[in-house]
Amino acid sequence: MSRTPEDTVVRTPGAPGAIGPYSQGRKGSLSGRWVVTSGQIGLDPATAKLVAGGVAAETERALQNLEAILTSAAAALGDVVKTTVYLADMADFQAMNEVYARYFPDTKPARTTVAARGLPLDARVEIEAWALLP
């Protein structure tokens, strides 16, 4: 599939830069009206370090990172239709879920939550999103 001028790699300093061969997100004609983000962990973009405070703090930062990427792509959390949450330990589900619920108070996207070992930088949580451009 060839790229067109409308295809855009989403980049923002409001979320951590890619630490591997991927982009923060993509939008444009290649992906239709979708913004697709890479998984975000609780990495502080200012320090490039995982935030302290456990899964709740990491979830908060991961969602802030997602929000920054979506904003950079002219979308918002309210436009998210699907997320996937990866947890290093399913015992952290309730703490993650309490923070997550605050970020999606009205429009609740479909969600899959998966237990995953060995998240990047020993993170407790990683979240990716698909949003439909307004």
Phi, psi of 122 (to 5 degrees): 60, 35
Q: What angle do CA 44, 106, 63 make, to 5 degrees?
A: 10
Structural domain boundaries, residue 61 = 8-132
Query: How many structural domains are present in the chain?
Result: 1
For the entire predicted model, the pTM comes to: 0.82
Is 1 a member of any domain? no
Looking up residue 22, the CATH number of its domain turns out to be 3.30.1330.40
**Rounded Cα distance, 129 and 68, in Å:** 12
CA R_g for the chain:
14
- Cα–Cα distance list, 54 to 7, 10, 19, 96, 110 (Å): 37, 28, 22, 10, 25
- pLDDT tens string 11-49: 889 888 866 656 777 666 555 688 999 999 999 999 999
